[in-house]
Amino acid sequence: MSQASTVYTLLRRAILDCEFEPGSPLVVSSLKARFGFGWTPLREALPRLETEQLVRFEANKGYRVAPVSLAGLKDLQTARAALETTLLERSIERGADDWEAGIVAAHHLLAQSPAPPAGLIVPESLIWEGRHRAFHTALLSAADAPWLEHLSLQTADQLHRHHRFMLYGPDVEEKLNGPSGKALRATFDRSLGLSHHTALMEATIDRDLPLARDLLQDHIGFSMAVYEGLGPR
Express each pLDDT in 148-158 by its tens digit.
Answer: 999 999 999 99
CA distances for 28 relative to 31, 46, 159, angstroms? 5, 10, 26
Is the pLDDT reported for residue 232 higher than 60? no
Reported as type and span, the H/E element at residue 201 is: helix 194-205
Percent of the chain scoring above 70 in pLDDT: 85
- pLDDT value at position 102? 98
Query: Which residue type sits at 114?
Result: P
Comparing C-alpha atoms, which of 183, 68, 72, 70 is closest to residue 118?
183
- pLDDT value at position 170? 63
Q: In this structure, are residues 68 and 227 in contact, taking their beta carbons and an 8 Å threshold? A: no
- pLDDT value at position 180? 67
Which residues are CB-contacts of 39 (< 8 A; sequence separation ≥ 6)? 28, 32
Between 61 and 121, the higher pLDDT residue: 61
The Cα–Cα gap between 156 and 165 comes to 14
Grouping H, G, I as helix, E, B as strand and the rest as coil, residue 114 is coil
Tell me, yes or no, if the pTM score tops 0.75. yes
Comparing C-alpha atoms, which of 87, 125, 115 is closest to residue 198?
115
Least confident of 36-50, 132-146, 184-198, 202-216: 184-198
Express each pLDDT in 188-215 by its tens digit.
Answer: 777 778 898 999 999 999 999 999 999 9
Domains of the chain: 3-65 (1.10.10.10), 70-230 (1.20.120.530)
The Cα–Cα gap between 200 and 20 comes to 34
Is the pLDDT reported for residue 28 higher than 70? yes
Least confident of 37-46, 102-111, 126-135, 186-195: 186-195
- pLDDT value at position 162? 86
Is the pLDDT reported for residue 1 higher than 60? yes
Comparing C-alpha atoms, which of 209, 221, 80 is closest to residue 151?
80
Between 81 and 116, the higher pLDDT residue: 81
